[in-house]
Structure 1
Amino acid sequence: MSPEPLMTRGYDAHPAIEHERLRSKYGSVAPVDLLGVPVWFVLGYEEVLHVLQNSGGIWTKNPARWQAYVEGRIPADWPLLPVFQVDSSNFAEGAAQHRFRSAWTKALQPFQDHTHPQAKVLEQAIKRYADDLIGLLAEGGPTGAADLSAQYARPLPLMVANRMLGFSTARGDEVVMDIWRLIDAGPESAAAFERLYAAMMELAAQKREQPGDDLPSYMIQAQPDLTQDELARELLMLPALLDFCAGLVCNVVVEVVSNPAVRESLSVGAIDETVNRVAMLNPPMANLTFRFPVKDVKMGNYTIAAGDAVMLSVAAAHADPRFAGALDPHAIRSTRAHLAWGAGPHACLGQRLATQMATVSVHRLFSRCTKVKLALPSDQLPWRPSPLVRALRSLPIQYELDERRVPGAASAEAPAAQQSAEDVAAKQAQQRSPLWKFLRSLRFGR
C-alpha cells in the first residue's frame, strides 16, 4: 500500500484529529510517509509500551538495523538524518548502553538528588534565571506583551545548560541555538550538527584537563574510559532534554491560563501535579525516534518486516481509548502511567531535573504576575512544524506584573551578598551575552 504523508498542515495544527483519523482507518498501527521516508506509525498505548519495554529483545534503536538506511535508500538531505547519525547512548543497546547510562546516572545524581549540595545550588540558580528573565520584562514597565516562548521558556533551560555543561555564556548560547536548529529538522540541521559536535569535542577536551563541578567532569569521573568522541556525543543530548522542558513550560502555561480550575489549583500549591497532567495530555516529545524489529513481528493489523522503521507516538498513545478511557478526569491526582518520559531501557534519566525546571518556571511566573492572558485564542497558537516535538513556535501573551514581587538585580532568595563569585560573574556576562542582547531586542522591538 502507499503510505500517506504524515507532516501535513492539518497535522501541524491539530495532530490529535489526525491521530484519530489514522486510528479509525488503520487501527493501532498506520503506514505513513515521513518527509519522503516510509515509516510505521504506532498509535496504540499497549503497543507503544510493549515496544518501549522490549522485554523479548525484539526491538532496537540502533540505525544499523534500519534496512533502508543500510541499503542507501534514505536521501542524504533527509531533514531527520542527522538525528540518527549521532552515535550516542540514545541509540546504543546491551553492554554499550549500560556503560553510558551508568555514567549518566552518576553524573546527573548531584543535580537531581535534593540532599546533594549541587542540587540545591542548581535549584537556586533556576529560580535566579527565572527572576532575571521576568526582570527583563519589567524593564518595560509593569504591563506589556511578550512572546513567552522566546523570552522565557526557551532561554531559561539554555541558562541551565550553560551552567551544567560548564560553557561560557556566549559559547553556550551558540550551542543551544544550534540544538534548536537540529531538533526543528529544518534546512540548517546538518550544518548545526557539525558545529555542535565540534563544540562538544572542544568542551570534552577542556574538562578532561580542567575538571570542575559540572556534568562533563562528573561523567569523566564516573566513567574514566570514555573517549573524547564518546563524551562529546553524549553531551549533545543534554540541551535536547532542556528544550523538551521549554516546550513543557509553554504547554503548562497555556493549560493554566485556558482552564480556570487549573489556575485555581496553582494557588494551593499543586504545580507539580499540573506539570504531570500536561505532560500526559500534551507531551512535548510527541513522537519518539525510530525503533527497528530484529525479526518480522505482528503488530496491529500488519506484519512489520525486520529492519523497517517504526515511530512511536506518545501523544497518540495517551489518547488511545484503551488508556484514556480508563482515566478519571475528576481525579485529584493524575496517573503517572503515561509515557511522556518513555519507559524501559531507554527511559529518560533526567525526568526529575526537567520536572523541577518546569515546576519552578511556572511557579515563578505566576507568583510574580497578577495577570497572564493569551494574546491569541488557544486554537490559533502557532506550533513548530516538527516530526518529533510538539512545542509552540511562539507563545504571545499579555501580562501584568505584581510590582511588589518583581525581582530586581538579584532574586529574593539569593541576595547579591550571598551569591557565589561564579554567579556574579555570570550575571555580569549577561550584559555582553548575544542571547541577552537578543532577548532585550525582543522586549523593546529593536
Structure 2
Amino acid sequence: MTRGTWPQQPSEIPSSTSVEPLLTRDYDAEPALVHERLRARYGSVAPVDLLGVPVWFVLGYEDVLRVLQNSGGIWSKDVDRWHAYVEGRIPTDWPLLPVFQLNSSTFQEGIAQQELRAAWTSALMPFQDPSQAQAKKLEHAIVRYADDLLDVLTEGGSTGWADLAAQYARPLPLMVANRLLGFPAARGEDVVMDIWRMVDAGPDAPAAFERLYAAMRELAATKREHPGDDLPSYMIQAKPDFTLDELARELLMLPGFLDFTTSLVCNVVVEVISNPDVRESLSVGSIDETVNRVALLNPPMANLSFRFPMTDVKLGNYTIPAGDPVMLSVAGAHADPRFAGAIDRQAIRSTRAHLAWGAGPHSCLGQRLATQITIIAVRRLFGRLSRIKLALPADQLPWRPSPFARALRSLPIQYELTGEQVHTRTAGSADAQPSQAVEAAGQPARRSPLWNFLRGLRRPR
C-alpha cells in the first residue's frame, strides 16, 4: 500500500506507511491548508501519521465536540486503553511517549479524575475569584511582573528591538506560576529556568524534567508540613490523601498551561499590531473580546492529546476500532465550514462556542487565570510602548514545530517608549533589580540568574 492510500476495510487503521505524515513543513507554515486538504479527501476524520504512529485526526466541529463532551462515556484518555501501547507496538523512543506516561489527572477517568479536578477547582478558586483577597494580590503581582519585564526589555534607550516571545510573553506566566507554587525566591528561579528548558524540548529537557519532578515532590512535602497561601497547600487542603508523587505529577501540568498562555499572549499581540481596528479597540476596554477572537481564530492549543474509544464507534466517515488513538484538532474544528460559516465576522462580540478551552470533563480549569494574564500583558505592553511594529511580515513569523501547540518561536518587534515612560526610565536606574527577585521581605536586591538571563537576551543597540 502506498503512502496516502486507504485500506479496503475502513474500520482498520492503516499502518504509518500508508498515510501522509501530519507534521510537515507545510503544516508548520500553514496548518489551515493541510486541514482543508485532509477535509476534502477524507471528510471530518482523516488517517494521518504522527511521528511514525498512525492516528485518527478529527477535523469536524461536531465530531470534536461530541468526543470532548463524552456524554456516552465511551471515550477515555487513559493510555492503558491504547491497544498498540499495551501490546508494545509503540517505540520506546517515540518523542511524545513521555507526555502520555505522566499519569496526571489529564490522563485519568472516572472517580479518580473527578477527585483530582475537584482539588484543582478548589485550589484555583482563591486566585481566580475576583472577590477573593488572593486574587486581588495576584492581579497586582501580574501587573508588577509585566512592568519589571518591560523595564528590562527597554533598558538603555527609548527605541529598540526585542523578541517579545522570549523576553516578555514567556517569562511572565512562569513568574506567575512561581508565585502560585510558593517556592522560596532563589529556589523558584531555578524551577522557572527548568520549566523553560523542559518546554523548549531541547537536549537539556530530560535532565530539567527530572529536576522539576524532584523539586515538585520536595515542594509537596514542605507544604504538607508547612502550608501557606499557595496552590499546593490549597490542593492538599482539598484532598488530604494526596501522595507526594501524585501531587508532584499534578503540579507538573503547569508547564503546559504556561505554554498555552505564552502562545495566547503572542497571538493576541500579533492580532493587535496587524489590525488597526483591534488596536483602536484597546482604548475602549474591549481587550477581553480581542482575546476571545484570537482564541477562536488562532487557538494556541491547536490539537489535543489522544482519546481512545472503549468500543468500536462511528466517527465521520469511518468506524474507529476500540483502542485506536484519536487526536482532536481544535484549529481544524474552528475552520469547519459548518461552524466557521455561521460566524459573523463583523459582530462586536465573537462566539463563545469555540473549543479553545476544551469542553466536557477535561475542559481547562485555568481559563480565567490564562485570560487575566493575557489581558494584563497586552494592556501593559501597549500602554507603555507608544509604537510597536513587527520586525518581520506577519506571514514570515517563525512558528515552533509542534503536534499540539500553535506557538511562535520568536516575536521580533521594533518599539518606541511613550514620552512619559522615557522620562521615567531616564530618571530611574537602569540597573535597578526587578521586584520579582526581591519579593521576600527584607531580602537585599541582587542580580539573580533569571534577570541576568533576560538581560542577556537584549539586542545591542
2:258 to 239, 242, 248: 242
Q: Aligned partners of 1:254, 1:444: CA distance in 2, in Å?
A: 20
C-alpha spacing 1:441/1:53, structure 2 compared with 1 (3 Å): same
- Whether 1:218 and 2:234 are equivalent positions in the alignment is yes
Distance 1:426 1:323, change over 3 A: farther
Structure 1 residue 142 corresponds to structure 2 residue 158? yes
In structure 2, the residue matched to 1:341 is 357
Shift of 1:87: 1.1
Aligned with residue 283 of structure 1, among 299, 304, 310 = 299
The alignment-based identity, stated in percent, is 74
Aligned to 2:393: 377
- How far 1:408 moved relative to its partner? 6.1
RMSD: 2.1
Give the 5 Å matches for 1:39-58.
39-58=55-74
Secondary structure of the residue that 1:285 maps to in structure 2?
coil
Give the equivalent residue in structure 2 for 1:413. none
Q: Is the 8 A contact 1:289 1:312 kept in 2?
A: yes
Amino acid at match of 1:111: F
Q: Distance in 1 between matches of 2:332 and 2:436?
A: 45
Deviation at 1:374, TM superposition (A): 0.2
Give unmatched runs, 5+ long, in structure 2: 1-5, 7-17, 426-431
The amino acid that maps onto 1:257 is I
C-alpha distance in structure 2 between counterparts of 1:100 and 1:240, whole Å: 17
Task: Pick the aligned partner of 2:457 from 436, 442, 445.
Answer: 442
- Secondary structure at 1:144 match in 2: strand
Structure 1: state its 5+ residue gaps. Answer: 410-415
Distance, in Å, in 2 between the alignment partners of 1:105 and 1:329 is 34
- In the other structure, the counterpart of 2:139 is 123
> How far apart are 1:396 and its partner, in Å?
0.2
CA distance in 2, matches of 1:406, 1:113: 36
1: distance between equivalents of 2:229 and 2:139? 15
Counterpart residue number, 2:284: 268
SS at match of 1:400: strand
Could you tell which deviates more after superposition, 117-126 or 74-83? 74-83
**Native 8 Å contact 1:170 1:434 kept in 2:** no
- Specify whether residues 74 and 408 from structure 1 end up closer, same or farther in structure 2 by C-alpha distance, changes over 3 A only: farther
Question: TM-score w.r.t. structure 2 length?
Answer: 0.91
Letter in 1 for 2:235: M
Q: Number of aligned residue pairs: give it.
A: 437
Amino acid at match of 1:137: L
Q: 1:174 offset after TM fit, Å?
A: 3.9
Aligned partners of 1:420 and 1:40: how far apart in 2? 45
Deviation of residue 422 (structure 1)? 7.0
Deviations 1:318-361 (A, max 9, x none): 01001110010000001110000000000000000000000000
Corresponding residue number in structure 1 for 2:339: 323
Which is greater in Rg? 2
> Please, which moves more after superposition, 242-251 or 189-198?
189-198
2:11 — aligned with what?
none
CA contact (8 A) 2:213 2:252 kept: yes
Amino acid in structure 2 at the alignment position of 1:214: D
Structure 2 equivalent of residue 5 of structure 1? 21
SS for the counterpart of 2:458 is helix
Matches within 5 A, 1:160-171: 160-171=176-187
Equivalent residue for 1:194, pick from 210, 228, 233:
210
Deviates further, 2-11 or 119-128: 2-11
Contact 2:437–2:448 (Cα < 8 Å) also in 1: no
Residue 15 of structure 2 is matched in structure 1 by none
